[in-house]
Structure formats: C-alpha cells, structure tokens
Amino acid sequence: MAIKIGNLAKEVMKQLDGYGIETGLKVEKISKEVAKDTAKMLNKNSPELTGDYAASWTYGVGETKRTRHTTVVHEEKPEYALTHLLEKGHQNRNGGRTAPAVHIEPAEKAAVEELEKELRKRL
C-alpha cells in the first residue's frame, strides 16, 4: 500500500490510535483477570471468625478512559471497615493490642508482580 508523503502523518496517527485501542482492551482484560485472582487469594487468606469478612472480597472497574484503566479489589459493606484494623492491629478495650493479621499486603505485592508479568508477556 503506497502512502503519499502528505498523508504520512495522518496514517501514522491512525495506526497509533488503533494500537492504543487494542492495547487498552488488552490491559483491561489482563487487569480484570489479575483482580479476580487477587480477590480469590484474599478470600482464601483472610482471617476468619465468622467467614463474612473473608467472603466479601470482590473487584470492580474503577476508572476507564482512553489512556487509563483502573481495576479495584475491595471489601464489600459492612466488612470494609475491618480491613485496616485487621491488617495493622488495633487497641483493645483492656488497653492491650491485637496482633496484626497481615493478608492484604502480600496479595497486593503478588498482584503487582502478576500484572507486570502478564503485561510484558501479552503486549
């Protein structure tokens, strides 16, 4: 396919736009997969007293724009209020402290590594 020199810039921009859209769709798909796996990991590794806290981890799309995509792993209501208390520990009524149940930080680190690995592999 021959392109006239006057149309070169338009053709380059057209190709870059197509690549950007294709890449954005791949990033969205990969981030949803990683978020789903992270939510499952948190469901499995969260502290369990009644099981409600561990079972309420989920994920969703935060922000999707042409050049930006955000997927969020979060705790559903009303258990979301417990995440910081369990992860960092907290003061008891009797003046003592509870031991931290670190479960979010390892899942976050694993998700970051997995997302980077998958993006490098698929893009």
What domain range is 94 assigned to? 5-122
Report the domain count for the chain.
Answer: 1
What does each of the 123 residues of the chain score in pLDDT, given as a tens digit? Answer: 688 888 899 999 999 999 988 898 899 999 999 999 999 999 999 998 888 999 999 999 888 776 788 899 999 988 888 999 999 999 999 999 999 999 999 999 999 999 999 999 998
Which DSSP string corresponds to 15-45?
A: HHHHHHHHHHHHHHHHHHHHHHHHHHHHHHH
